Structure 1
Amino acid sequence: MKKYSNDNNSRQAVVEAMDALVKKGLNKGTSGNVSVRTGDGMLITPTGISPQALSAEHIVHMTLDGDVDAGQLIPSSEWRMHADVYRGKPDTAAVVHCHSPYATILACARKAIPAMHYMVAAAGGHGIPLAEYATFGSRELSLANLGALDDSLACLLSNHGQIATGRNLQSALKLAEVVEEQAHCYWGTLAIGGPVILDSAQMDEVLTAFRTYGQQRERD
């Protein structure tokens, strides 16, 4: 697992991750947020600043209990969701939340992504789950998200967007891309009668293969 610190390099990595979300078409405007775990808390994007205007000095360091270091901006309204992921998933070092178009379409239709393509296994299971709806920034949303992430590295958030986690920022960003690709694929199949679903045995084979498949392994 990548170890991040409350330093300029880690802050810049968060800035670049937010910029990457925009360049990859996964986010627009001031929506979405990115964080990394540090030794005594987390670094997270601030609220209300567009990725184009974001710089390392804007990134907020705070404890997982919500205490913000002195002299910093207000953190993302979704900070609880990030903090609770770090508490509940000790192998997670980075969290990416975005409103990518097709994942958001499915989230608004309240449709989890089933095993219609083997790449859903990139999230660690037989599909990409859907968290129950709760107001953004609320404790209820954080708990709903944790429930959906219980056996998964990523999930859709009902009427909201998606969240992806990883052992480093690179893997979390990559997974967010995969979630969006799978959402697009599923959306397309729904327009022509729906997908043919892979069965449990087939998905178990995929998950086993992923453990030794070069580029699917997360690297620190």
Structure 2
Amino acid sequence: MNEASTTILKSKIVEVCHKLYSRGLVAGTDGNVSARLQNGNILITPSSLNKGDVQAQSLILLAPDGKLIEGSGKPSTEVKMHLFIYTSRPDVNAVVHAHPPYATAFAAARLPIDAHVLPEIALMFGTIPLAPYATPSTEEVPQSIAPFVASSKALLLSNHGAVTFASDVHEAYLLMEKLEQAAHILFLAHLLGGAKALTENELDRLRALRKELYRKELFSIQGDLSQ
């Protein structure tokens, strides 16, 4: 990747960080964003910096194994999770970790978000697994998400937050925004007596639609609608 492309990618990461902060998906110095360059190196946000204050020069460049190449400060404390996702998913080039209030409330209650309630969520995510609790910033985090990364694009992290990953940083951000919207809707539906899951027949029709959309490359869809 040439210097111009790297500059563009940095600007996209900065834009996503500012959106996360302005839309209340992170607070304080919460959250982290990374993107993988074509040569395998990784740009990641630094530790202890408010996402609303992130600038291109704030970003840290790492080798695929996590060794520092360029940048001041320390990479995000959740760098182990980011590196694990990239190693596990060659198709993934961006990871967003945030603490969106409603999705994190589900994670804190250790309740999964039922992706089979809203058609657009079922189409976009397939399933949204709930990973077991892991001590943040430790090797426990990659271990806790390991069973789910291959077949998902969004995870809840018990008592912690959420992580989304996709082929580019903008898509990973949109997944986080959509995840939070789904959690908010399900919370409100609970107040109204509980959401009603789609029937198996309705899910079958969505599965067929999902395959058709994937064939036409209208959506970048992965995950499993069968669960």
Instruction: Give the TM-score normalised by the residue count of structure 1.
Output: 0.88
Aligned-pair distance for 1:196?
Answer: 1.3
Aligned-partner Cα distance in 2 for 1:183–1:4: 39
CA contact (8 A) 2:46 2:76 kept: yes
CA contact (8 A) 2:34 2:43 kept: yes
Question: Structure 2: which amino acid aligns with 1:209?
Answer: L
1:92-171 aligned at under 5 Å gives the runs 92-114=92-114, 115-125=116-126, 127-171=127-171
Question: Structure 1: which amino acid aligns with 2:32?
Answer: N
Aligned-partner Cα distance in 1 for 2:143–2:203: 27
| Alpha carbons of structure 1 residues 216 and 158: separation in structure 2 relative to 1, 3 Å | farther
| Alpha carbons of structure 1 residues 208 and 178: separation in structure 2 relative to 1, 3 Å | farther
| Alpha carbons of structure 1 residues 118 and 77: separation in structure 2 relative to 1, 3 Å | same
Corresponding residue number in structure 1 for 2:213: 212
Aligned-pair distance for 1:77?
Answer: 0.2
| Alpha carbons of structure 1 residues 204 and 165: separation in structure 2 relative to 1, 3 Å | farther
Corresponding residue number in structure 2 for 1:10: 9
Percentage of pairs with the same residue: 32
Comparing 50-59 and 105-114, the one that deviates more = 50-59
Question: Structure 2: which amino acid aligns with 1:29?
Answer: G
Aligned-partner Cα distance in 2 for 1:200–1:142: 33
CA deviation string 1:62-119 (max 9, x = no partner): 1232211155320000011111111111111111111001001000000111112112
CA contact (8 A) 1:123 1:152 kept: no
CA contact (8 A) 2:30 2:51 kept: no
Corresponding residue number in structure 2 for 1:182: 182
Q: Tell me, yes or no, if structure 1 residue 62 matches structure 2 residue 74.
A: no
| Alpha carbons of structure 1 residues 189 and 71: separation in structure 2 relative to 1, 3 Å | closer
For structure 1, list consecutive stretches of 5 or more residues without a partner in the other structure.
none
Aligned-pair distance for 1:54?
Answer: 1.7
CA contact (8 A) 1:120 1:128 kept: no
Q: What is the DSSP-based 3-state SS (H/G/I as helix, E as strand, rest coil) of the residue aligned with 2:68?
A: coil
Aligned-pair distance for 1:122?
Answer: 4.2
Aligned-partner Cα distance in 1 for 2:167–2:204: 22
Q: What is the DSSP-based 3-state SS (H/G/I as helix, E as strand, rest coil) of the residue aligned with 1:111?
A: coil
Corresponding residue number in structure 2 for 1:73: 73
Aligned-partner Cα distance in 2 for 1:41–1:140: 23
| Alpha carbons of structure 1 residues 116 and 83: separation in structure 2 relative to 1, 3 Å | same
Corresponding residue number in structure 2 for 1:20: 19
Aligned-pair distance for 1:4?
Answer: 9.1
For structure 2, list consecutive stretches of 5 or more residues without a partner in the other structure.
222-227
CA contact (8 A) 2:12 2:170 kept: no
Aligned-pair distance for 1:151?
Answer: 1.6
Corresponding residue number in structure 2 for 1:46: 46
Question: Structure 2: which amino acid aligns with 1:31?
Answer: D
CA contact (8 A) 1:103 1:184 kept: yes
Q: CA RMSD in A?
A: 2.4
Between Structure 1 and Structure 2, how many residues are aligned? 216
CA contact (8 A) 1:156 1:163 kept: yes
